[in-house]
Structure 1
Amino acid sequence: MENIRTLSSTQELDKLHKNIKGLRALIESISKYMVFHINQSLFIEIGTNTSIKKLMNKFSECHDVIFNLKEISKNNKKVESASYSVSKKMSFIADMLEANSAERKSNPDIFSDRNLRLKHYEFTSWKKTTMTESLLFAVQLKLPDVPRQEWPKHVHKPIAKELDVSNKLVVKCIDELKNRNLC
C-alpha cells in the first residue's frame, strides 16, 4: 500500500513539474514576443498601461502559487529548479517592461510597486537559506572524494563561497549527508 502512495506521490510530483515547465514555456514565449517587439521598436504594440498592469498582476498571482510550493520544492530538485526559473523569468520580464516602456516616463505608477522583483528576491533569499535536496546534492558534489578524516579543515567555507550560501547552511548540509551516510 505504501508503494502505491509513493508512486501516486511521485506521479503527482511529475505532473506538477510538467505543469510548471508548461508555465515556464508560456512565460518564455511572452518574453520572446516582447524582446522581438522591443528590437523592432514596436513596444507600443505590446499593450496599453491597463494590459501591462493586468499582465503584471497575473504574474504576481502565478508567483504566489509558485512560492507556496516551497515545501515541495525543498524535497524535489525538479520542482525547485522549475519554480525558481519561472520566478526568475517573470522578474526579468517585469524589469524588461519597465526598462523599455515609453509609458514609464508619462505614467510611472504602472511599475511603482516592483512586486515581481521583490517576490523573486524573497524566493532567492529562501533558496539561499534553506536546505533543499538540490543544495544537498550540490554540496555532496563539492566535497572531497576522500574519507572524512582526510578532509581539510573548514572544508565547508570554500563550498559555501562557491555556492553563494552561508557557511552555517553548508555545515547543516554536510551533517545531513553524514546522517544519510552519503559522505
Structure 2
Amino acid sequence: MSDTRRTRERLDTPRDERRQLVRRPSYNADTFGVFAEQFARFMGTATFLIYMTLFVVGWVAWNLLAPADLRFDNYPFIFLTLMLSLQASYAAPLILLAQNRQEARDRVVAEQDRQADARAHADMEFLAREVASLRMAVGEVATRDFLRSELRGLLADLDERVDERGDERGASHEDGADEDVRGAP
C-alpha cells in the first residue's frame, strides 16, 4: 500500500515535466515588441494614411465603376468593412504594446533623472557647506583693508621712531662736531 502512494503524484507539489500534445510556439518578446513599435510608428505616418486612403478609394472605385461581373464587394461594402475591422483589431493591441514599451522606457529615464537630481542636490548641499566653512575661515583671516590699516599704523610708528632717532643723532652729531671743532687748537 505504501508503494502505491509513492508512485502517485502528490497534489501539494508541482509536476517536474508536463507532456504537451501541441508544442507552444516560442518567440522573443523583445523582437515582437520591436515589430510592434515599428508597426505603430508606421501607422502614425502620413505615408500610411495616404496608402490607406488610396486602398479604400481604389476598393470603392473598383466596386462602383468596374463591370458588374468583376465587382467583388457591392455597395454597402461589407467585405471592405470586414477588412478594415480586421486591420483595426490587430493594430490596436500592437499600438498598446508599443505604448507600454515606451512607458517602461520613460519610467526608467524618469528614475535615472530622479537619481541624477538627487546626486546634484547632494553635491550642491555639500558645496554650500564648503562655501560656508570657507567664509567662516576667511572671516578669521585678516582682510586686505585690515592689513593696510595695520601696516599704515606701523609705518607711522616707524616714521616717528626714525624722526626721533634722527633728531637724537642730529643733536649728538652736532654736539660731536662742536667738540671736534673746539678740540682742535
Flag whether TM exceeds 0.5 (same fold): no
TM-score, normalised on structure 2?
A: 0.27
TM-score, normalised on structure 1?
A: 0.27
Higher gyration radius (CA): 2
